[in-house]
A and B are shown apart, each in its own frame.
Chain A
Amino acid sequence: MTSELFIQYLLAGITYGSIYAIVAIGFNIIYNATGIINFAQGEFVMFGGMISISLLQFMPLPIAIALAVILTMLIGALIEICFIRWLKGPSVLRLIIITIGISILSREVAVHIWGESIRSLPYFVGNEITSIPVFGARISPQVLWVVAVSALMVVALGIFFKTTSVGREMRACASNRKAATLCGINTANMVTLSFILSAGMGALAGCVMSPITYSQYDMGTGLAIKGFTVAILGGLGSAGGAVAAGLLLGVIEAFSVSVVPLAFQDAIAITILLIILFIRPQGLFGSKEASALKEF
């Protein structure tokens, strides 16, 4: 393998890896607030991409994206309020099945609105053939957008959780819900907020990745599985772990193309997930003590 090809694969891996990391962080936000995995996480990404593509007919790109993100946040809030908020002490199995149901329903709504055709946003800068040379490899400027937006989101989220009072309240809710309630934090609202946040992150990721990966009504399932793999790999609930694991998985996948047929690319991520689950159920970077304290 030449060094140019190596860098090319590496960059492709980082691009996909940062998308996986964002989806994984979306999982983590909701997981931290509620202790559940939102199987409909991938559908937020799909909604973000599809809505912005539809809105683009009426308005310039930045506004379309902003509006798509806000609309997806509303969808996230609606889902939480309609399907989760009023359940009293639901079992994990029940919540899994409900979020799976939401994911199916979202997909069906999408296919009846947008059809089965594959769409995409235009490239933010330049077009399909614009490329920037990097160490002898050539990448599309959109790749930089994806990586930059992902990095920005991670940093912004970190600042939000560390410094703002709402962020701190959400962290309190994550570490001990009952104690947070006793301190006067409205935990139910925090859960809604976590859905809004992760929907918004997913939607923004869906917009920036759309020019490269295209958007389709059923893109959510695959992304959700990758995102979940990454979340587990990095240890559920850990944002830093998610970023590291996301990049790792992206790079592994990118290089796997040169070894196994493309058709098995998905299977590789899942095989890694299964192996990790069997060997280290608490994730690569998760601590055993922390996972023992979780409810399941």
Chain B
Amino acid sequence: MKRLLPVLPLLACVIGVQLLCSATDTLYYLTQMTMSAYYSLLIIALCVLMGYAGQISLGHAGFFAIGGYISAALTTHSLIPYGDNGLVKFLDSSGMLLSGQSLYGEELLVVSPGVACVVAVFTAAVIAVFIGIPVLKLKGHYLAMATLGFGIIIYRVVLAVEYFGEADGLSEVPAFPLFAGLSVSGNFVDRVQNYYIAWGVLLLGMILLLNLIDSRVGRGLRGVHGSEEAADAMGVNTSRYKLQTFVLSAVFAAVAGVFLTHYNGGIGTSEAGVMKSVRYVAIVAVGGMANLWGALLMGVVLNFLSLRGVFGSYDDAVFGLILIGIMLFAPNGILSISVRYHLLRLLGKNKQDDGKEA
């Protein structure tokens, strides 16, 4: 329970930000905070994969896109033309379909968001298993390139397949009703509510991952990162742990994709782009590879700034610079001990100097 204590101040911060925004009439910040929270969900999971299991993935935007796109496609493409199909009838009778109206008043019969979400996340998990088994045998550059290749294939698929809207992406994605009247949607009236949903999901994910890295699995993973051979020799089932972490992070990415797509009411091809994957890796690197809190902090801050358009047309350049700068000067992340050490030494020196003067 002790390790969950830091979550409480975070919860206080989340509530504080909302109250502050409400009080100062700047609720529009909450929109970006909500989106940042979903991106951060992916980032903290990637942090566990990269920092604890030591496996780089340049394809996580692919899993995000799988989640978002499948859920968007299922909830927007009408099944009325296939009404006679046995499967569609079965789904309809078991209450998994929803009827509604499109913007132009057409009758729609689509898969309900809840079912679509489960299908999307499950698909991402299955793909992660199939990709993960061969990919995770690779190391170093090979792993980086293989995951990058996976990301590009997903990007090409969503760009070329008509079902996924080709270059236009998918829009008019309906709201995702959760429970007790809560629903993930981009309506202005639901802004505060959605802010809490997003951060609730993120906190839940954070608690899960904090527990994971403090468990037997987490210790095993750190062993894998340190030396795979040594961990193997100590009886850690390295390939299984790596695969489990890979699938878990893919599931987190897919969940983030599903929620953000319903929140934005659509998804575009850029979400599957290679630059997105690189950006996620950059943020994890900045936060400190094996530092969940750092990844969370940087994920929220950098995504928020980027979404607010602070960097303008230099957005990608800023991320490139951050990436290089961090890797050159603080390879363990911005919150790493070496930075802290330098700061302490600087302070210590000043104190000594003060002492001499006095």
Main secondary structure of the interface of B (DSSP, over half): helix
Given contacts A100-B278, A225-B149, contact A281 B323 (CB under 8 A): no
Given contacts A104-B320, A225-B152, A277-B138, contact A96 B56 (CB under 8 A): yes
Q: Which residues of A contact B323 (CB under 8 A)?
A: 97-98, 100-101, 104
Tell me, in angstroms, the Cα distance from A83 to B316 when the chains sit together. Answer: 19
Q: Which residues of B contact A93 (CB under 8 A)?
A: 54, 56, 140
Beta-carbon nearest neighbor of A260 in chain B:
B160
- Please tell me if B240 contacts chain A, counting CB pairs below 8 Å: no
- Please tell me if A271 contacts chain B, counting CB pairs below 8 Å: yes
Tell me, in angstroms, the Cα distance from A263 to B156 when the chains sit together. Answer: 7
> Are B327 and A108 in contact, with the CB atoms below 8 A?
no
- Please tell me if B351 contacts chain A, counting CB pairs below 8 Å: no
> Are B317 and A232 in contact, with the CB atoms below 8 A?
no
- Please tell me if A270 contacts chain B, counting CB pairs below 8 Å: yes
> Are A274 and B149 in contact, with the CB atoms below 8 A?
yes
Q: Which residues of B contact A221 (CB under 8 A)?
A: 274
Q: Which residues of B contact A90 (CB under 8 A)?
A: 331
Docked complex: B131-172 residues within 8 A CB-CB of A: 134-135, 137-142, 144-146, 148-150, 152-153, 156-157, 159-160
Tell me, in angstroms, the Cα distance from A263 to B160 when the chains sit together. Answer: 6
Tell me, in angstroms, the Cα distance from A102 to B316 when the chains sit together. Answer: 12
Docked complex: A99-158 residues within 8 A CB-CB of B: 100-105, 107-109, 112
Q: How many residues of B contact A (CB 8 A)?
A: 41
- Please tell me if A159 contacts chain B, counting CB pairs below 8 Å: no
Fill in one digit per residue for A222-249: 1 if any B CB lies within 8 Å of its CB, else 0: 0001001000100000000000000000
Beta-carbon nearest neighbor of B146 in chain A:
A277
Q: Which residues of B contact A58 (CB under 8 A)?
A: none
Fill in one digit per residue for B283-326: 1 if any A CB lies within 8 Å of its CB, else 0: 00100000000000000000000000000011011011101100
Beta-carbon nearest neighbor of A236 in chain B:
B141
Tell me, in angstroms, the Cα distance from A296 to B55 when the chains sit together. Answer: 13
Tell me, in angstroms, the Cα distance from A92 to B275 when the chains sit together. Answer: 20
Q: Which residues of B contact A261 (CB under 8 A)?
A: 160
- Please tell me if A4 contacts chain B, counting CB pairs below 8 Å: no
A104, A273, A278, A295: the one within 8 Å of B145 (CB): A273
Tell me, in angstroms, the Cα distance from A281 to B149 when the chains sit together. Answer: 15
- Please tell me if B328 contacts chain A, counting CB pairs below 8 Å: yes
CB distance from A80 to the nearest CB of B (A): 13
Tell me, in angstroms, the Cα distance from A296 to B159 when the chains sit together. Answer: 34
- Please tell me if B209 contacts chain A, counting CB pairs below 8 Å: no
Tell me, in angstroms, the Cα distance from A215 to B348 when the chains sit together. Answer: 54
Fill in one digit per residue for A33-46: 1 if any B CB lies within 8 Å of its CB, else 0: 00011000000000
Tell me, in angstroms, the Cα distance from A106 to B135 when the chains sit together. Answer: 29
- Please tell me if B202 contacts chain A, counting CB pairs below 8 Å: no
Q: Which residues of A contact B45 (CB under 8 A)?
A: none
Tell me, in angstroms, the Cα distance from A135 to B99 when the chains sit together. Answer: 62
A101, A102, A107, A264: the one within 8 Å of B160 (CB): A264
Q: Which residues of A contact B140 (CB under 8 A)?
A: 92-93, 96, 295-296
CB distance from B245 to the nearest CB of A (A): 16
> Are A94 and B331 in contact, with the CB atoms below 8 A?
yes
Tell me, in angstroms, the Cα distance from A112 to B318 when the chains sit together. Answer: 13
Q: Which residues of B contact A281 (CB under 8 A)?
A: 137-138, 142
Given contacts A101-B324, A104-B319, contact A96 B144 (CB under 8 A): yes
Beta-carbon nearest neighbor of A31 in chain B:
B141
CB distance from A116 to the nearest CB of B (A): 11
Q: Which residues of A contact B320 (CB under 8 A)?
A: 101-105, 108
Given contacts A108-B316, A261-B160, A263-B160, contact A98 B146 (CB under 8 A): no
> Are A97 and B327 in contact, with the CB atoms below 8 A?
yes
Tell me, in angstroms, the Cα distance from A107 to B245 when the chains sit together. Answer: 33
CB distance from B229 to the nearest CB of A (A): 13
- Please tell me if B46 contacts chain A, counting CB pairs below 8 Å: no
Tell me, in angstroms, the Cα distance from A3 to B156 when the chains sit together. Answer: 31
Q: Which residues of B contact A101 (CB under 8 A)?
A: 282, 320-321, 323-324, 327
Tell me, in angstroms, the Cα distance from A178 to B356 when the chains sit together. Answer: 47
Given contacts A96-B56, A264-B160, contact A108 B138 (CB under 8 A): no
- Please tell me if B66 contacts chain A, counting CB pairs below 8 Å: no
Given contacts A278-B134, A281-B137, contact A264 B156 (CB under 8 A): yes
Tell me, in angstroms, the Cα distance from A96 to B142 when the chains sit together. Answer: 11
- Please tell me if B281 contacts chain A, counting CB pairs below 8 Å: yes
Q: Which residues of B contact A98 (CB under 8 A)?
A: 323-324, 327-328
Tell me, in angstroms, the Cα distance from A278 to B135 when the chains sit together. Answer: 7
Tell me, in angstroms, the Cα distance from A105 to B149 when the chains sit together. Answer: 21
CB distance from A277 to the nearest CB of B (A): 5
Tell me, in angstroms, the Cα distance from A271 to B131 when the chains sit together. Answer: 12
CB distance from B123 to the nearest CB of A (A): 18
B135, B141, B274: the one within 8 Å of A296 (CB): B141
Known: A96-B56, A97-B282, A270-B149. 11 other contacts (CB 8 A): A37-B145, A83-B328, A92-B141, A96-B141, A100-B281, A104-B323, A108-B316, A266-B156, A274-B149, A278-B134, A281-B138
Q: For the complex of A and B, list the 8 residue pairs with the smallest distance between their C-beta atoms, beginning with the closest.
A: A104-B320, A296-B140, A263-B160, A108-B317, A101-B323, A101-B324, A270-B149, A278-B134
15 A/B residue pairs, CB under 8 Å, sorted by A: A37-B141, A83-B324, A94-B327, A100-B278, A100-B323, A101-B327, A104-B278, A104-B316, A109-B317, A225-B148, A261-B160, A264-B160, A270-B149, A277-B134, A277-B145
